[in-house]
Structure 1
């Protein structure tokens, strides 16, 4: 269960809609709040259908400004409490989670009208006792450090917003990532950055989701960054790490030597013992090869920068050798992530390790399980019965039943002769394994 908030700056921008689709594909939020849609209800509804969400409530734009929309994944997972020109208030009720309240908020842009924003928050605070979260572009700051560049932010605006949070017992969530969410004049002497987008939570909401985090997604097609709120950080059992051979090791001459020496060292032991000792040696050695790409690349780049400006023969030779080492490390990194991404249409030589990394990381996160429903319809986690539930499920799936297959198998023509069957069942000789491997 997660929430996405973004000052969209208009649905008429195709790049913005495409960017929103990419965020949703990666983060899969259950609730989305969009402000400054600059659109009517029908246009927002078209976007909803493209995104694959069922629930929607829209506050249409006034002339050529404003406009808000709240979308939720399934129709029955949320209901409207109230709304206005600057907010949409929902009660969220999803499987496995207690009922709570989410308010998408768009604060007054003009400083002279900021008191309207403050009074609206005070009024909303008294309308429900549910755990409460306000998220959106509040157009308010709490500290001088929320602004970088430009004129000093008025102290009366800081005090006014701080007093609202104190009166309503609201907590300003810490922002993970870049500290500013809005910018203007980037790359010029007038560049200004501010934190205008935020999430405010009640103490009861904080107790309900103590491990929640608010993340600045930073990259944006708007002048505002999207915010991603994950109320429940997934807790998983630490898995046992098994040995996996890395294709990137094949580019290292040492790999072949380790395999050969490990095999010869235990020449008198069983085949299984040799495999185990060989994998242990490779894993220990390979950790230095495939787990510190970032440090190795940074170190080599530092050397290149240091010798680049020199013109003596020794520096030129060192530059050439270092550059070759850097290319080799980059090739290893690409092979490492291509092996994990399993994108079969990619060809050798594609310098796109960031893409491979994203594919592999996203797949790993999606494959994780935090809780499941048992036969009684109750959600259970890893600490309250989920391991037993998984084992029982597969026990039932693979349990032998009292079926008889003779009626089917007698019509299947044999494809393996008796001689071939005896050859397949014969014991594998060590000399055969050695010949196949070496």
Structure 2
């Protein structure tokens, strides 16, 4: 059961909605925790394929019961942004930890750092806030999980003299969690249309089984002239066969052709994400310009895929 956490900084733009839909389609998280959606409940309900577990201004704390797997606890949190009130979140985590009988995981925009290496650019991070957060983690028995990919999750001032990157988004887990999910992985995802990048938590290794999907005719194919031509050719070539045999041949040909079209989108999206991964964090002029150009290409492909 994977979990995704993302501070989207508003879901008002089509680009962010398309990005979220693409990530959920490709990564298939069982849980999605969004911060700062700046959206009403009705809009969020329309975006979800099912009823949201909870829509709240407070942290979301749930127990996860998986068939055939260990039960665990997941807390989605948006950390206090005001530095003078950070202690409130520290106290909140410590209070939650006192009732942590299950393997426990906390994820989201924590808005805290564990060391000066969690920040690049700008003035040093206040040491008293670093010490306060580390004391909180120690008392709450929470460990900061390593992330795979770029080590910073938030940025501002890209391609300026004031460019700052900080690892504000985190996944924390107690010792019980680490004992149970010793194969867990946390990925920093690419191509985000926000100041924050999403984090994907994979608690354990999951074997993917190849399943043969039944044929489905896509209405979007009707806008392609090639679709009607394929049907016409198949029908004429199979005129001595039964109707069911003709339909089977049409389905087979359309399935191959349809995969070529949708596959081109998937390949372009994959290439863009791979390029973003290579360029992210580089600060020379060419890399910065190429990063932004590639990100715009990714949004364009997502837009084209949505239209198709």
Q: TM-score, normalised by structure 2?
A: 0.68
For 1:94-113, list aligned pairs within 5 A: 94-113=66-85
Pair 1:187–1:101, CA change in 2 (3 A):
same
2:151 pairs with 1:212: no
Instruction: Give the whole-Å Cα distance in 2 for the aligned partners of 1:215 and 1:4.
Output: 10
For 1:32-51, list aligned pairs within 5 A: 32-48=32-48
Q: 1:168 aligns with which of 137, 140, 155?
A: 140
Q: 1:355 aligns with which of 259, 268, 272?
A: 268
2:25 pairs with 1:53: no
- Is contact 1:341-1:356 (8 Å) kept? no
Pair 1:14–1:129, CA change in 2 (3 A):
same
Instruction: Give the whole-Å Cα distance in 2 for the aligned partners of 1:234 and 1:179.
Output: 24
Deviation at 1:233, TM superposition (A): 1.4
Q: TM-score, normalised by structure 1?
A: 0.49
Structure 2: which 5+ runs fail to align?
A: 210-255, 272-308
- Is contact 2:45-2:51 (8 Å) kept? no
For 1:143-182, list aligned pairs within 5 A: 143-182=115-154
RMSD after superposition: 2.5
For 1:109-128, list aligned pairs within 5 A: 109-128=81-100
Deviation at 1:234, TM superposition (A): 2.7
Instruction: Give the whole-Å Cα distance in 2 for the aligned partners of 1:102 and 1:138.
Output: 14
Instruction: Give the whole-Å Cα distance in 1 for the aligned partners of 2:62 and 2:20.
Output: 22
* Structure 2 equivalent of residue 9 of structure 1: 9
Pair 1:114–1:47, CA change in 2 (3 A):
same
Pair 1:11–1:345, CA change in 2 (3 A):
closer
Instruction: Give the whole-Å Cα distance in 1 for the aligned partners of 2:199 and 2:257.
Output: 27
Q: Which has the larger radius of gyration?
A: 1
Deviation at 1:53, TM superposition (A): 2.9
- Is contact 2:45-2:52 (8 Å) kept? no
Instruction: Give the whole-Å Cα distance in 2 for the aligned partners of 1:94 and 1:140.
Output: 31
For 1:167-316, list aligned pairs within 5 A: 167-234=139-206
Structure 1: which 5+ runs fail to align?
A: 60-84, 238-339, 359-438
Deviation at 1:204, TM superposition (A): 0.7
